[in-house]
């Protein structure tokens, strides 16, 4: 990178780095720096009477500085929080040489630098617990200025809020926005709670392929890729259902996987192309049993993260306390639209959908129409956790036929805050029925349903050896994390949400500039002036370009010999 491209503040920091080196201070030391406390534990446990924490060593990032002559205050932020530092010249520099304070601390250490300090804890006249620093050590020099976010009584000043910058530059977001870290810690707690719960039941955590020759287990469009050695098309998984069931067939009685799945579909505040699901399969169980497991597990998640079954989400308070409300799909539609669709055929359903302002098209089968009606008229109204049970058979090709009602399957979803958070079945284990259901999907695909499932011969082959009756569950971790952390967007619970690539300025190589006669040392200056390709140079007014170059030379004190106007003309005309 050419120095001319840097902002003034970045240049000043690089100069500080040079000066540190000249003073024999390594701005990036290799050796470990042993801390013996964190900011939050000091603030929680320090007591003026006990006079504890009289020899602490902590490390972190300098977040603010207030220099008052020979005494200074700074704020140090570590993983757990912030604490004020008090630095006094003569405490840091016990002999005649005051360089460490006057030069190193006051001039060469910037906001954003990572330092280690040793000292004792005391309380200032203003009543703030602070570290009286006796030793300060540079651990890592920061070359870019941080956005300065200040806070007083919960009011935030100059918050760093631009979503694009926050998502693209998550490290910075985490540094200056402490609540962001909290969200991700909660997300991890959600996952850990579920994992502990499942492990306590002795289910086995497994891993299954992400690259799959056939994609299956859900209705969605996949990402497609290619394996060179095999010369074969592979898909990124849209679900892991079929592989997990093959493990059940193989004799594991309880398996689960936290899995990244990939769907090549729209992106918005509820959808990211890659997302996380937890899928669980347990042999010799049915969907009633699974429903109670979900209630218990999610209630535990809320309790572990919030210490309560109640979670504030937007304007609602959602209560995960068991038992949750239950509807069948038909009874839910009846409740919210007043229409009983349970006996209708496809024609009647279509008419009903149109009457209810639900979009239907030619590709939709009976199940899909019902799903649409439910999606429009019921789902958004279900704020408290609610189970919807017994789905039409057409939209559930992997679920077992209902034990008592024709045309339905044993399936439930849990809806919360107007969104699906999980999906579960009594799994279909009749290989002949399974083959028929796949064939019905093929017919849907022929009608134009892009999400219809593909027939998976290997899966059927495995099932033909005999699969125990099994209940299966998929639970959307991102969606659950959004609710638990009160986040409005999935991007707020993913560290690095998918973004469009930033458009890079196209810039010609040095060779091209040299080919029109530009001396190497002038190339970055021409680019700085805005001529990033020789195409642009050729279009330039040579007088203007000449003036701009001389101006930049002077302004940045580059001390280059200015080119003659004839030379600049020659570049432009070449």
Whether the bond into 323 is cis, omega within 30 of 0: yes
Site of tokens 């530009």: 518
Q: Which of 34, 49, 127, 466 binds RNA (CB under 7 A)?
A: 127
Cβ of residue 252: shortest distance to RNA, in angstroms? 25
**String marking each residue 153-182 x if it binds RNA according to CB under 7 A:** ----xxxxxxxxx-x---------------
Cβ of residue 364: shortest distance to RNA, in angstroms? 9
Cβ of residue 375: shortest distance to RNA, in angstroms? 6
Between CA 297 and CA 380, with CA 311 as vertex, the angle to 5 degrees is: 90
| Residue 145, token pair as written in the block | 């200025």
Q: Considering the rule CB under 7 A, would residue 48 count as an interface residue with RNA?
A: no
Closer to RNA at the Cβ: 6 or 570?
Answer: 6
Closer to RNA at the Cβ: 199 or 543?
Answer: 543
Q: Which stretch binds RNA (CB under 7 A): 31-39, 151-159, 402-410, 436-444?
A: 151-159
Rounded Cα distance, 3 and 550, in Å: 17
Q: Which of 502, 511, 559, 566 binds RNA (CB under 7 A)?
A: 502
Closer to RNA at the Cβ: 130 or 471?
Answer: 130
| Residue 460, token pair as written in the block | 């059927």
Q: Considering the rule CB under 7 A, would residue 73 count as an interface residue with RNA?
A: yes
Q: Which stretch binds RNA (CB under 7 A): 330-338, 461-469, 475-483, 515-523?
A: 475-483
Q: Considering the rule CB under 7 A, would residue 331 count as an interface residue with RNA?
A: no
Cβ of residue 450: shortest distance to RNA, in angstroms? 8
| Residue 61, token pair as written in the block | 């990032």
Query: Strand ranges (DSSP E) for 465-526?
Result: 470-476
| Residue 519, token pair as written in the block | 């001396």
3-state secondary structure of 33: coil
Cβ of residue 551: shortest distance to RNA, in angstroms? 11
Q: Considering the rule CB under 7 A, would residue 96 count as an interface residue with RNA?
A: no
Q: CB of 460 within 8 A of CB of 439?
A: no
Cβ of residue 228: shortest distance to RNA, in angstroms? 27
Cβ of residue 539: shortest distance to RNA, in angstroms? 8
Sheet with 408-416: strands ordered across: 204-205, 254-262, 274-283, 470-476, 419-426, 408-416, 386-392, 325-328
Closer to RNA at the Cβ: 92 or 462?
Answer: 92
Q: Considering the rule CB under 7 A, would residue 362 count as an interface residue with RNA?
A: no
Q: Which stretch binds RNA (CB under 7 A): 206-214, 282-290, 369-377, 404-412?
A: 369-377
**String marking each residue 528-557 x if it binds RNA according to CB under 7 A:** --x-x-------------------------
Closer to RNA at the Cβ: 249 or 332?
Answer: 332
Q: Considering the rule CB under 7 A, would residue 490 count as an interface residue with RNA?
A: yes
- Which residues ranging from 442 to 461 are in contact with RNA (CB under 7 A)? 451
Closer to RNA at the Cβ: 249 or 482?
Answer: 482
Cβ of residue 251: shortest distance to RNA, in angstroms? 30
Rounded Cα distance, 51 and 56, in Å: 12
Closer to RNA at the Cβ: 73 or 184?
Answer: 73
Q: Which helix (H) or strand (E) holds 211?
A: strand 211-212
Q: Considering the rule CB under 7 A, would residue 30 count as an interface residue with RNA?
A: no
Rounded Cα distance, 2 and 130, in Å: 41
Q: Considering the rule CB under 7 A, would residue 407 count as an interface residue with RNA?
A: no
Rounded Cα distance, 324 and 82, in Å: 41
Cβ of residue 108: shortest distance to RNA, in angstroms? 8
Could you give the angle at which helices 366-377 and 329-337 cross, rounded to 10 degrees?
A: 50
Cβ of residue 444: shortest distance to RNA, in angstroms? 12
Closer to RNA at the Cβ: 240 or 254?
Answer: 240
| Residue 389, token pair as written in the block | 């049970």
Q: CB of 280 within 8 A of CB of 259?
A: no
Closer to RNA at the Cβ: 65 or 569?
Answer: 65
Q: Which of 80, 187, 237, 263 binds RNA (CB under 7 A)?
A: 263
Rounded Cα distance, 558 and 519, in Å: 15
Q: Which of 23, 29, 150, 317 binds RNA (CB under 7 A)?
A: 150
Q: 183-208 burial, b if ≥16 CB within 10 A, otherwise e?
A: bbebbebbbebbeebbeeeebeebeb
- Which residues ranging from 197 to 256 are in contact with RNA (CB under 7 A)? 218-220
- Output the DSSP codes for 357-395: T----TT--HHHHHHHHHHHHTGGG--S-EEEEEEEGGG
Within 13 A of 1's CA, how many CA atoms are on the CB side?
8
Rounded Cα distance, 366 and 348, in Å: 10
3-state secondary structure of 2: coil
**String marking each residue 284-323 x if it binds RNA according to CB under 7 A:** ----------------------------------------
Closer to RNA at the Cβ: 365 or 563?
Answer: 365
Q: CB of 299 within 8 A of CB of 309?
A: yes
Q: Considering the rule CB under 7 A, would residue 272 count as an interface residue with RNA?
A: yes
Q: Considering the rule CB under 7 A, would residue 18 count as an interface residue with RNA?
A: no
Closer to RNA at the Cβ: 201 or 554?
Answer: 554
Q: What is the DSSP letter of 165?
A: H
Smallest Cα–Cα separation from 141: which of 172, 112, 100, 118? 112
H-type alpha helices, 385-430: none
| Residue 269, token pair as written in the block | 């505040």
- Which residues ranging from 408 to 437 are in contact with RNA (CB under 7 A)? 419-420, 423
Q: Considering the rule CB under 7 A, would residue 147 count as an interface residue with RNA?
A: yes
Closer to RNA at the Cβ: 35 or 360?
Answer: 360
């Amino acid at each position: 990178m050419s120095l001319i491209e840097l902002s003034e503040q970045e240049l000043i920091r690089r100069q500080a780095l040079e000066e540190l080196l000249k003073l024999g201070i390594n701005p990036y030391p290799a050796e470990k720096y042993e801390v013996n406390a964190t900011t939050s534990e000091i603030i929680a446990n320090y007591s003026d009477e006990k006079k504890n924490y009289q020899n602490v060593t902590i490390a972190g990032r300098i977040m603010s500085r207030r220099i008052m002559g020979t005494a200074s205050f700074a704020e140090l932020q570590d993983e757990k929080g912030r604490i004020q530092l008090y630095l006094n010249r003569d405490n840091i520099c016990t002999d005649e040489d005051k360089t460490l304070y006057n030069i190193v601390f006051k001039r060469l250490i910037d906001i954003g630098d990572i330092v280690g300090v040793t000292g004792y804890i005391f309380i200032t006249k203003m009543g703030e617990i602070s570290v009286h620093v006796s030793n300060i050590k540079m651990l890592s020099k920061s070359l870019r200025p941080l956005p300065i976010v200040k806070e007083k009584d919960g009011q935030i000043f100059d918050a760093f809020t631009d979503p694009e910058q926050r998502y693209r530059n998550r490290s910075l977001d985490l540094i200056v926005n402490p609540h962001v870290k909290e969200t991700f810690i909660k997300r991890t707690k959600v996952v850990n709670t579920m994992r502990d719960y499942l492990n306590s039941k002795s289910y086995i955590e497994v891993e299954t392929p992400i690259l799959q020759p056939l994609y299956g287990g859900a209705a969605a469009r996949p990402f497609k890729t290619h394996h060179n050695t095999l010369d074969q098309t592979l898909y990124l998984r849209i679900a892991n259902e079929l592989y997990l069931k093959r493990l059940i067939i193989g004799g594991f009685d309880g398996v689960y996987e936290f899995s990244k799945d990939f769907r090549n579909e729209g992106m918005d505040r509820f959808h990211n192309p890659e997302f996380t699901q937890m899928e669980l399969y347990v042999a010799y169980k049915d969907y009633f049993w699974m429903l109670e497991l979900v209630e218990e597990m999610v209630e535990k998640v809320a309790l572990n993260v919030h210490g309560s079954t109640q979670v504030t989400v937007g304007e609602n308070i959602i209560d995960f306390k068991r038992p949750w409300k239950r509807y069948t799909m038909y009874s839910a539609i009846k409740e919210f639209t007043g229409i009983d669709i349970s006996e209708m055929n496809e024609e009647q359903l279509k008419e009903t959908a149109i009457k209810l302002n639900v979009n239907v098209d030619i590709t939709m089968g009976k199940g899909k129409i019902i799903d649409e009606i439910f999606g429009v008229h019921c789902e958004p109204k279900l704020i408290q956790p609610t189970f919807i049970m017994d789905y039409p058979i057409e939209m559930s090709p992997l679920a077992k036929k209902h034990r008592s009602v024709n045309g339905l399957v044993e399936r439930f979803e849990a809806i919360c805050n107007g969104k699906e958070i999980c999906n579960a079945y009594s799994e279909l284990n009749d290989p002949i029925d399974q083959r028929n259901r796949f064939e019905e999907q093929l017919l849907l695909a022929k009608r134009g349903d892009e999400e219809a499932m593909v027939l998976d011969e290997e899966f059927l082959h495995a099932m033909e050896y005999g699969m125990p009756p099994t209940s299966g569950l998929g639970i959307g971790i991102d969606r659950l994390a959004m609710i638990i952390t009160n986040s409005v967007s999935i991007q707020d619970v993913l560290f690095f949400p998918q973004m469009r690539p930033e458009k890079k300025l196209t810039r010609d190589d040095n060779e091209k500039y040299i080919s029109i006669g530009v001396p190497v040392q002038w190339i970055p200056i021409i680019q700085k002036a805005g001529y990033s390709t020789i195409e642009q140079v050729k279009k330039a007014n040579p007088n203007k370009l000449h003036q701009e170059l001389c101006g930049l030379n002077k302004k940045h004190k580059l001390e280059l010999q200015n080119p003659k106007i004839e030379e600049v003309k020659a570049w432009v005309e070449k």
